[in-house]
């Protein structure tokens, strides 16, 4: 084996494709080297898909102290068609890996100043995985609150699924709802 030392490699014609190595070989970039890209790159890194972002198109009514699945029905995007926005309201990614999952729920009471608190849940495979408690209004009831929840969750790419739930507590058992515009989403993390 020999070593070629040069400062520049170009095609003979000045345009076209320059190939380094052949199929089945490994190109090794030693530790401490830097690859600088001043052109267009393809095939490097990874994609952050499947990914989706959904929202509620209208207020979804809830019953006091009942944990209710949020029925996100409007897709901003769904790269791999992995979110069901009409039947099960769940995300079932088809690629294994770690995902950043998030939701932002806004909730209100049917009556002024009757809201006590909002709990937001992320469920995996039908069981509570993440719980976030929003503003606690027990000593001074409110009308509306917003709760954001996010986490990195490992998914197997075949049977694992994610759902979003809300539990709203109202003074005196009054009911309320999850506001239109509340949203959820996820994207695969490049590993």
pLDDT in tens, 47-80: 889 999 999 999 998 888 889 999 999 999 999 9
Spatial contact of 186 and 51, defined as CB atoms under 8 Å apart = yes
Report how far residue 134's alpha carbon sits from residue 137's, in angstroms, rounded to the nearest whole number: 9
Residue 22: pLDDT above 70? yes
Give me the percent of the chain exceeding a pLDDT of 90: 46
For the domain spanning 51-188, the CATH number is 2.60.120.40
Read off the pLDDT band of 176 (50, 70, 90). Answer: confident
**pLDDT, tens digit, for every residue of 127-149?**
999 998 776 665 555 556 668 89
Position 28 scores a pLDDT of: 80
pTM of the model: 0.76
Spatial contact of 134 and 147, defined as CB atoms under 8 Å apart = yes
- Classified as helix, coil or strand, 142 is strand
């Amino acid at each position: 084996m020999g070593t070629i030392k040069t400062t520049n490699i170009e095609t003979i014609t000045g345009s076209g494709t320059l190939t380094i190595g052949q199929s089945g070989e490994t190109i090794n970039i030693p530790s401490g080297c830097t690859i600088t890209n001043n052109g267009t790159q393809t095939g490097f890194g990874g994609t952050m898909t499947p990914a989706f972002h959904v929202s509620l198109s209208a207020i979804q009514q809830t019953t006091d102290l009942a944990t209710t699945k949020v029925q996100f029905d409007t897709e901003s995007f769904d790269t791999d068609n992995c979110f069901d926005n009409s039947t099960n309201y769940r995300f079932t990614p088809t690629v294994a890996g770690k995902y950043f999952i998030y939701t932002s729920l806004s909730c209100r009471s049917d009556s002024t100043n009757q809201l006590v608190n909002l709990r937001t849940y992320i469920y995996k495979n039908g069981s509570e995985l993440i719980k976030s408690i929003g503003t606690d209004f027990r000593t001074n009831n409110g009308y509306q609150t917003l709760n954001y929840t996010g986490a990195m969750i490992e998914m197997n790419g075949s049977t694992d699924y994610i759902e979003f739930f809300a539990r709203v507590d109202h003074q005196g058992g009054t009911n309320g709802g999850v506001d239109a515009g509340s949203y959820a989403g996820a994207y695969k993390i490049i590993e």
